[in-house]
Amino acid sequence: MSRPIPKLAGVCGWPIHHSLSPLLHSYWLKEMKVAGAYVAFAVNPKNAVEAFRSLKRTSISGVNVTLPLKSAAFSAADLATEEAQKLGVANCLYKSRGQLVAHNTDLEGFAAPLIAKLGAARVQNVSVLVIGAGGASRAVLGALLSLGVPEICLINRTDEKAEDLAGQVNVPSLYALPWEQRQEAVGRADLIINASAAGMSGKPDLDISLENGRSGALVYDLIYTPRVTSLMKQAKAHDMDTLGGLEMLIAQARPSFKLFFGQTPPMDLNPTHMLFEALESGRR
């Protein structure tokens, strides 16, 4: 019996040494006994479009793309999926019939843990507060709108960015409030999402108190270093439920793995523990 030819995929970024993706995909490859490898590629933003286009001339199945290359990946592709078009950036490039396709798995990655936690029906009845107006916030808003969330309030440290983003999306269920009114916004939300960079290890904590938050509300923090952010600690202290960012990281990787290696990692093959250990020990 001939052995299958190993498939190669990876993650591109600049810098890229901190990425957890090689550990995550390598875990699934090993556990699922798939012949393949997944590695990190440092790609200089100056040559990124050219580097991505050259993928078509290689045997690499596809790549994930992280900061600051997501726009370049979108521009380099011949085609874009609906998800990538919605966000105007790609976190995944793969080849189909000789063409380079831009895709974005962040929408699915954000939504899957949320639905698993609340259920799709409940998500359609929650009032949501989204904090942050960068790239992650765009994916969060796109996913929430697809899920049919009835009300989304957007706030950002720099008010203009929240106003601009809400204006670009332009749907009646989404509105921006000034940062000054963040405490009032907390009091009205059933679901609070931190899509800002505040609270990451080495960065200041989010300047928001959950004291007047609704008991039983869910706080979803996209940050995964540290594992339990100060916002999540506050939530627990005020009788609120929590969801951390590692779930999203894993959920956005699952569909990429399927595109690169042809199989979806089963849900019971859970890399959370292994990733936490890697984060704690500084191993990548």
Which is closer to ligand NAP, CB of 94 or CB of 110?
110
Contact between 128 and 144 (Cβ < 8 Å): yes
Provide the sign of the torsion angle of the four alpha carbons 244, 277, 34, 42, taken in this order: positive
Instruction: Please report how close the Cβ of residue 58 comes to ligand NAP at its closest, in angstroms.
Output: 27
Provide, rounded to whole angstroms, the least separation between the CB of residue 90 and ligand NAP: 13
The answer to whether residue 70 is catalytic is: yes
Task: Report the residue closest to ligand NAP, judged by CB.
Answer: 134
CB of 252 to ligand NAP, least distance (A): 6
CA angle, residues 204, 207, 210, in degrees to nearest 5: 130
Nearer to ligand NAP, 82 or 207 (CB): 207
Catalytic residue chosen out of the listed positions 7, 70, 86, 95: 70
* Comparison of 97 and 273: residue with beta carbon closer to ligand NAP: 273
Nearest-CA neighbor of 92 among 73, 120, 113, 115?
73
The residue assigned the tokens 């995550």 is 24
**CA-CA-CA-CA torsion sign (232, 192, 89, 251):** positive
Q: Output 8 or 23, the one with its CB closest to ligand NAP.
A: 23
Site residues (vs ligand NAP, CB under 6 A): 109, 132-137, 156-158, 161, 195-198, 200, 204, 206, 222-224, 245, 248-249, 252
Positions marked catalytic? 70
